[in-house]
Amino acid sequence: MKNKLKIVITILFTAINSISFAQEYETKEEVFQEDIFSIVENMPEFPGGQDSMYKFLSTTIIYPNEAKEKQIQGVVYVNFVIEKDGTMSNVKIIRGIHQLLDDETLRVVNLFPKWTPGTQNGEVVRVSFNLPLSFKLKE
């Protein structure tokens, strides 16, 4: 009986030890990613401010002819990250209307110049920015 108990204890000890050994050396991929803020004390700003951005958009957007012919209109919502250096990254459509207008939105937004980056607690930070672009046909 004592031998059986010793064997059971030895097996349990070995099993527990091998499990903890495996966990100790288990590799976990850690991806470092700086925080991306949605709201900060000082939001990123297009050069010259909001009016300049609207002027840029109105002179740069080209309403696709096919979209005009098909009477496609509405609002495309695009999201992007303003990086610490004012450049943009991760530009993506979060709610589109039609591929034609979605593509035009991406084309125009990717032409944006560098922004003034956002700050939080005196530090320059990465900020996620949502922008609605309205496509409306004139009657």
CATH code, domain carrying 89? 3.30.2420.10
- CB-based burial, 5-31: b 16+ in 10 Å, e otherwise: eeeeeeeeeeeeeeeeeeeeeeeeeee
**Is the pLDDT score of 71 beyond 50?**
yes
Confidence of residue 4 (pLDDT cuts 50, 70, 90): very low
d(CA 96, CA 76) in angstroms, rounded, equals 5
Q: pTM score, two decimals?
A: 0.72
How many domains, the chain? 1
Least Cα distance to 126 among 101, 76, 78, 90 occurs for 90
Q: At CB < 8 A and 24+ separation, what contacts does 24-28 make?
A: none
Contact 137, 64 (CB under 8 A): no
pLDDT value at residue 139: 74
Q: Average pLDDT, whole number, for the chain?
A: 82
Residue at 20 is within a domain: no
Beta-carbon count within 10 A of 72 CB: 17
d(CA 134, CA 139) in angstroms, rounded, equals 15
Residue at 125 is within a domain: yes
**Is the pLDDT score of 24 beyond 90?**
no
d(CA 83, CA 136) in angstroms, rounded, equals 31
In the three-class reduction of DSSP (H, G, I as helix; E, B as strand; rest coil), residue 85 is classed as coil
pLDDT value at residue 138: 86
**C-alpha separations of 96 from 90, 93, 127, 133 in Å:** 16, 6, 22, 10
Range of the domain at 50: 36-135
Average pLDDT over residues 86-112: 97
Residue at 48 is within a domain: yes
Residue at 27 is within a domain: no
pLDDT value at residue 34: 73
Confidence of residue 29 (pLDDT cuts 50, 70, 90): very low
Confidence of residue 33 (pLDDT cuts 50, 70, 90): low
The residues, any chain, with a CB within 8 Å of residue 38's CB and separated by 6 or more, are 127, 128
